Amino acid sequence: MSGFEWFGEEERKEVNEVMETGVLFRYEFPSERNNVFKVETFERRFASYIGVKRAQAVTSGTAALKTALAALGVGPGDEVITQGFTFIATFEAIVEAGAVPIPAEIDHTLNMDPADFERKITDRTKAVIPVHMLGAPARIVEIMEIARRRNLKVIEDTAQALGAFVGPKKVGAWGDMGTFSFDFYKTMTTGEGGMITTDDETLYRNASEYADHGHDHNPAVSRALEGRSFLGFNFRMNELQGAVGIAQLAKVPAMIDQQRRNQVMFRETLDGFPAVRLRELPPGGEDSYTHLCFFVEGQGKAQAFCEALAGKKIPAVFFKGNLWHYLPNWEHLIAKKTLWRGPHPFGGPLYGKEIEYSPDMLPQTSKILDSLVVMPISLRMDEERIRLTSMHLQSVAESLL
Ligand SMILES: *Cc1c(COP(=O)(O)O)cnc(C)c1O
């Protein structure tokens, strides 16, 4: 579930190499850094792991989304379609870009319903952000087909699904750009951090320059003399984070293997219960096993299931009640509260109309989440803990289903 569970000697060794040079910064200091380029190395290895040409490291997954939107030229007057079941960061990044987030429904993949995505397209839609939630891929092949046909840009929010894939490609390599997060909850961590992936050299340059005040990164001149083509911002990752990233990335395949072993064990416990329906994967889709997600039908059943597990000290989440991942629970978004004077971006002359959000605007998502049980899969589980968890899972299922 989280890289911070597997943290130790390898990370320390990488960080120490930075401490020995004393250069904590990603750019400059060519003579002092003794050929240590941790962030650059991390980016190269990350791009190769995902299977893309380019990767740009930034300070968070939210910064990665904001940078990707900037690189694609998304801004005021544009609508960006995403899903109403995601971490709120996806919406925040769209609003920060000055665009209007439009929520689509999810289906039983727990990710964007392609048909509803297509229904939500208007003449203002510029891009779509499918989110690969809770470890597993969205129906990215169908989403890409619709986006290409309708001339829309695609950013995959891959914060929660590092290492998952569909057919021949990892998620984060399908869209025009992919974004990743390395915060405390994600498959690998750098303390805080994020990454943007792309095969497009122009988008890469836009992202790389935007995330560094617009510097054009001309190796022939000093930083003070570099040119710039547009205004940017500072989302630079530092060398200490890059060092941790190198060590964590090397562990990702083993972490996913461990998660798979643990998740499959719990899944097998549920095999004997016909009332349990597992989360769907798209054709050719492969999970990264960060969570076990399943549906139990019946009024109040899923919530009772989660509470019963929690009563046995087994972490389980009833996401419909979660305050950070589901649009109807975001009263501040629904009220369009910003620190600046409204109505931008939700209304105003550039948008030319006014968006309304309401708690009942996603009936299909609401129905799916009613029956959803989510168990986070820890990396640190010894035989005894696995045995106890399976036993409790079995007894809760027997008593409720
Ligand atoms: C964690 C997360 C983000 C944001 O990442 P941070 O690094 O915390 O900014 C964005 N989208 C999703 C789906 C996430 O889970």
pLDDT, averaged per 10 consecutive residues of the chain (401 residues), comes to 85 98 95 96 98 98 98 98 98 98 98 98 98 98 98 98 98 98 96 98 98 96 95 98 98 96 93 94 98 95 96 94 97 97 95 97 98 94 91 95 88
Token pair recorded at residue 135: 């470890």
Test site for ligand 1: of 91, 106, 157, most ligand atoms within 8 A of the Cβ: 157
**Burial readout 333-348 (b: 16 or more C-beta within 10 A, e: otherwise):** beebeeeeeeebbbbe
- Ligand 1 touching residue 46 (CB < 6 A): no
Q: How many Cβ atoms sit within 10 Å of the Cβ of residue 367?
A: 11
Atom of ligand 1 nearest to the CA of 133: 13
- Report the Cα–Cα distance between both ends of the chain, in Å, rounded: 27
Does residue 130's CB lie within 6 angstroms of at least one atom of ligand 1?
no
Question: How many C-beta atoms surround the C-beta of residue 112 within 10 A?
Answer: 31
**Which string of b and e fits 241-263 if b means at least 16 CB within 10 Å?**
bbbbbbbbbebbeebbebbeebb
- Give the residue whose CA is nearest to atom 4 of ligand 1: 61
**Closest CA relative to residue 180, chosen from 303, 296, 85, 56:** 56
CA of residue 86 to ligand 1 center, whole Å: 9
87 CA from centroid of ligand 1 (Å): 6
Measured from the Cβ of residue 148, the count of other Cβ atoms closer than 10 Å reads 10
* Beta-carbon count within 10 A of 1 CB: 22
Q: Whose CA is nearest to atom 5 of ligand 1?
A: 61
Q: Which two tokens stand for residue 401?
A: 């289903």
pLDDT at 1: 63
- Specify the pLDDT at position 4: 84
Query: Tokens in use for 106?
Result: 């999810």
| Ramachandran class of 98: left when φ > 0, alpha when ψ lies in -120 to 50, beta otherwise | left
What is the CA(186)–ligand 1 centre distance, in A? 8
Residue entry with tokens 């569909």: 166
Residue 221 C-alpha to ligand 1 middle, in angstroms? 36
| Cα gap 54→42, rounded to integer Å | 11
Residue 196, CB half-sphere, CA atoms under 13 Å: how many?
A: 34
Ligand 1 binding pocket includes 87 (Cβ within 6 Å): yes
Could you tell me if the CB of 183 is within 6 A of ligand 1?
Answer: yes
61 lines ligand 1 (CB under 6 A): yes
What is the distance in A from the centroid of ligand 1 to the CA of 184?
Answer: 10
Looking at residue 3, its pLDDT comes to: 80
* Site of tokens 């005894």: 384
Task: Give the atom of ligand 1 at the shortest distance from the alpha carbon of 185.
Answer: 1
Q: Which of 95, 96, 181 to mutate to test the pocket of ligand 1 (most atoms within 8 A of CB)?
A: 181
Q: Is 86 in the pocket of ligand 1 (CB under 6 A)?
A: yes
Q: Minimal CA–CA distance to 374: which of 263, 230, 238, 282?
A: 263
Q: How remote is the CA of residue 92 from the centroid of ligand 1, in Å?
A: 10
How far is the centre of ligand 1, averaged over its atoms, from the C-alpha of 160 (Å)? 7
- In angstroms, the CA 317 to CA 296 distance is 13
Q: Please report the atom of ligand 1 found closest to the CA of residue 63.
A: 9
How many angstroms is it from 182 CA to the middle of ligand 1?
8
Cβ of 60 less than 6 Å from ligand 1: yes
**85 alpha carbon – ligand 1 mean position (Å):** 13
Task: State if residue 181 touches ligand 1 by the CB under 6 angstroms criterion.
Answer: yes
